[in-house]
Amino acid sequence: AQSVAQPEDQVNVAEGNPLTVKCTYSVSGNPYLFWYVQYPNRGLQFLLKYITGDNLVKGSYGFEAEFNKSQTSFHLKKPSALVSDSALYFCAVRDPRSNDYKLSFGAGTTVTVRA
Amino acid sequence: DAGVIQSPRHEVTEMGQEVTLRCKPISGHDYLFWYRQTMMRGLELLIYFNNNVPIDDSGMPEDRFSAKMPNASFSTLKIQPSEPRDSAVYFCASRPLPEGRQGYYGYTFGSGTRLTVV
């Protein structure tokens, strides 16, 4: 079974401050991990992924995430948040040994960046 | 590439009516997924197809829901009869096979259909 948890429903930061959105996962083996962002009235957009290799992955819009196997975490980070980063963020996981290609999504974290 | 295209963007219908949501996946994508998003339950996978064949429909909430994929470029999700608790945003997503082709590991989502049943 595969699952992710996003422990925070909401994250509020001031513009220019660092932004962190937390995600922990549960998968039997090595995971494929993803972050998606959803802006109001839009579909989910891919931000970044971890498949293998370097634990620090860089994605769109200045976001990055660090894969930590010992802590089973994949936190999303941005060094300096913008008001335009305000959105709903989803973490997702897939067990690559599974043949069904289903992603399991977290409940989402609403990020609000205040000016 | 126009991405995953869903129609309509918004649908308002009366309880008891039939509703049909449509999805056109990205050309060449072998997998198609239907998700439902609500405040209470988040993102739920309803059903997915591989090469037009339904593989897992265990997420379909009840017999009022049905989905078809008559060809590689079109899928429908039908609710008959619709109920107010079906109000949600319904997303379609697609992905290619094999995994890793063109660096592809995740999904591409459509913009969704916001369904309101009154």
Beta carbons of A102 and B106 less than 8 Å apart: no
Judged by DSSP in three states, A60 sits in helix
Q: Which residues from A are below 8 Å from B108, CB to CB?
A: 46
Angle (CA) A78-B37-A57 rounded to 5° is 25
Chain B residues in contact with A41 by the CB 8 A cut-off are 114
Which of B99, B111, B114 has its CB closest to that of A101? B99
- Does the beta carbon of A40 lie under 8 angstroms from any beta carbon of chain B? no
Mean predicted lDDT score pLDDT of chain B: 91
Res. A69: pLDDT tops 80? yes
Residue B111 distance to chain A (closest CA, Å): 4
Give the model's pLDDT for residue B102.
Answer: 58
- The residue among B7, B26, B30, B37 with the most chain A CBs within 10 A of its CB, best to mutate, is B37
Q: What is the pLDDT of residues A29-66, one digit of tens each?
A: 889 999 999 998 888 999 999 998 899 999 989 999 99
What percent of chain B stands above pLDDT 70? 93
